[in-house]
């Protein structure tokens, strides 16, 4: 059958759009990406109180007008009521899949793909161990080959450190960055590890500069934030990966490699994110970064690929043929 016309519907945040893109890729779909913006008072009014959801759209975002797509893959609190509005406007012809737990209309979605740490259940819910991602083995291998002349020169074992940043629940200031850098530098000198570091947008310029100042003189590769981005190359060429605990998406992507993945604690508290790392630790996938006097360990597991599992569930529920049986969906 032909590929269904598909919209990805989010507010354009990387943490919500990337899982939707990964799911579309796993389905073999080339989607239209719709990045929405909200006007007041809808930007603070909970979705269950939106009487006319389309009126919430601000003109600086993408418009939502017919012809309606056959499938909407949505993610985020603002996208959920709008996805339901599209379904109503289409007369029920549009199927809707929501990634992450929606705060409104959960039972009305054709499928909700929610991480297990949310505790969301229901006949239309697929629980995943981590968030969906678009980590593609072929792209990973290509990135490894492209970055081998740079990252391949680092000593082994190689550790990739993926640094997140403050998110309203966790803090990451210069004192904590300095402590992390000191611990990593110690392992470089004592254990001979090669280190590659990537800071995210949330890390902040001051924290990123501190990482460079502390680790580059010791022989680490620290990305300067300028293109090209070595992120996939780091995942491909590292022997182990360490990620700050604030980033569910980066931890999920790291677990897609099948390599040892450590989480690094930050100041702050989130019961939901703590449950995320606790559950994955209990399942033998993730470990807390060890104290300075303990060596890095090695362990193995099947690469986490909940995106492929979610795509298979969509095909099953919607009656679409399996991808290996046909090139189209």
Residue whose C-alpha is closest to residue 244's, from 315, 145, 162, 168: 162
Q: What is the mean pLDDT of residues 156-174?
A: 93
274-296 residue pLDDT tens:
999 999 999 999 999 999 999 99
Angle at 41 (CA atoms; ends 40, 42), nearest 5 degrees: 90
Q: What is the mean pLDDT of residues 194-219?
A: 95
Angle at 36 (CA atoms; ends 35, 41), nearest 5 degrees: 160
48-81 residue pLDDT tens:
888 899 999 999 999 999 999 999 999 999 999 9
**What pLDDT was estimated at residue 22?**
93
Q: What is the mean pLDDT of residues 80-86?
A: 97
**What pLDDT was estimated at residue 323?**
59
Long-range contacts of 285-289 (CB under 8 A, 24+ apart): 285/129, 285/255, 285/261, 286/251, 286/255, 286/261, 286/262, 287/260, 287/261, 287/262, 287/263, 288/262, 288/263, 289/183, 289/242, 289/262, 289/263, 289/264, 289/265
**Within 13 Å, how many C-alpha atoms sit on residue 140's CB side?**
16
- Predicted TM-score (pTM) of this structure: 0.88
Q: What three-state secondary structure class fits 264? A: strand
**What pLDDT was estimated at residue 316?**
95
The arrangement of strands across the sheet holding 240-244 comes to 221-222, 194-199, 158-163, 240-244, 261-264, 286-288
Q: Fold identical between 6-129+306-325 and 137-288? A: yes
Element holding 7 (H helix, E strand)? strand 6-10
**What pLDDT was estimated at residue 327?**
39
Q: What three-state secondary structure class fits 80? A: helix
How far is Cα 235 from Cα 259, in angstroms, rounded to an integer? Answer: 9
12 contact partners, CB below 8 Å, separation of at least 6: 35, 36
Question: For the chain, how far is it from start to end, CA to CA, in angstroms?
Answer: 5
pLDDT band at 1 (very low <50, low <70, confident <90, very high): low
How far is Cα 173 from Cα 165, in angstroms, rounded to an integer? Answer: 9
Which overall architecture, per CATH, does domain 6-129+306-325 show?
3-Layer(aba) Sandwich (3.40)
Q: Are residues 248 and 229 in contact, defined by beta-carbon separation less than 8 angstroms?
A: no
**pLDDT tops 70 at residue 161:** yes
| In the chain, % of residues over pLDDT 70 | 97
Residue whose C-alpha is closest to residue 197's, from 157, 226, 230: 230
**What pLDDT was estimated at residue 294?**
93
46 contact partners, CB below 8 Å, separation of at least 6: 103, 104
> Would you tell me how many other CB atoms lie within 10 Å of the CB of residue 160?
29
Q: Are residues 184 and 195 in contact, defined by beta-carbon separation less than 8 angstroms?
A: yes
**What pLDDT was estimated at residue 47?**
83
| In the chain, % of residues over pLDDT 90 | 82
**pLDDT tops 90 at residue 45:** no
Length of the chain: 329
Torsion 57-7-11-43 (CA) sign: positive
**pLDDT tops 70 at residue 19:** yes
Give the fold, CATH level 3, of 137-288. Answer: Rossmann fold (3.40.50)
What is the residue extent of each domain of the chain? 6-129+306-325, 137-288
227-261 residue pLDDT tens:
999 999 999 999 999 999 998 889 999 999 999 99
Q: Are residues 9 and 109 in contact, defined by beta-carbon separation less than 8 angstroms?
A: no
Helices (H), the chain: 14-27, 79-89, 137-151, 174-191, 205-215, 231-237, 248-255, 271-282, 306-318
């Amino acid at each position: 059958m032909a590929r269904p016309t598909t919209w990805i519907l989010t507010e354009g945040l990387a943490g919500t759009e990337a899982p939707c893109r990964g799911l579309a890729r796993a389905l073999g779909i080339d989607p239209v990406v719709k990045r929405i913006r909200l006007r007041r008072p809808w930007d603070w009014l909970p979705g269950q109180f939106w009487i006319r959801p389309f009126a919430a759209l601000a003109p600086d975002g993408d418009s939502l007008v017919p012809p309606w797509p056959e499938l909407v893959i949505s993610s985020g609190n603002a996208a959920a009521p709008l996805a339901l509005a599209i379904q109503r406007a289409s007369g029920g012809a549009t199927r809707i899949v929501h990634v992450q737990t929606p705060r409104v209309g959960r039972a009305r979605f054709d499928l909700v793909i929610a991480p297990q740490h949310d505790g969301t259940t229901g006949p239309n819910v697929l629980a995943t161990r981590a968030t969906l991602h678009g980590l593609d083995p072929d792209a990973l291998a290509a990135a490894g080959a492209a970055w081998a002349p740079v990252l391949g020169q680092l000593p082994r074992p190689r550790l990739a450190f993926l640094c997140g940043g403050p998110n309203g629940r966790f803090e990451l200031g210069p004192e904590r960055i300095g402590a992390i850098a000191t611990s990593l530098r110690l392992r470089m000198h004592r254990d001979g590890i090669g280190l590659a570091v990537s800071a995210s947008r949330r890390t902040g310029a001051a924290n990123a500069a501190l990482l460079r100042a502390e680790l580059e003189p010791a022989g680490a590769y620290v990305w300067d934030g300028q293109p090209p981005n070595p992120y996939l190359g780091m995942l491909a060429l590292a022997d182990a990966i360490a990620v700050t605990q604030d980033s569910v998406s980066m931890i999920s992507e790291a677990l897609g490699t099948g390599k040892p993945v450590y989480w690094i604690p930050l100041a702050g508290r989130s019961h939901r994110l703590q449950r995320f790392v606790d559950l994955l630790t209990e399942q033998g996938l993730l470990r807390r970064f060890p104290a300075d006097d303990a060596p890095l360990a090695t362990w193995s597991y099947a690469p986490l690929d909940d995106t492929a599992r979610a795509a298979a569930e969509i095909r099953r529920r919607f009656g679409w043929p399996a991808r290996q049986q046909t090139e189209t969906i």
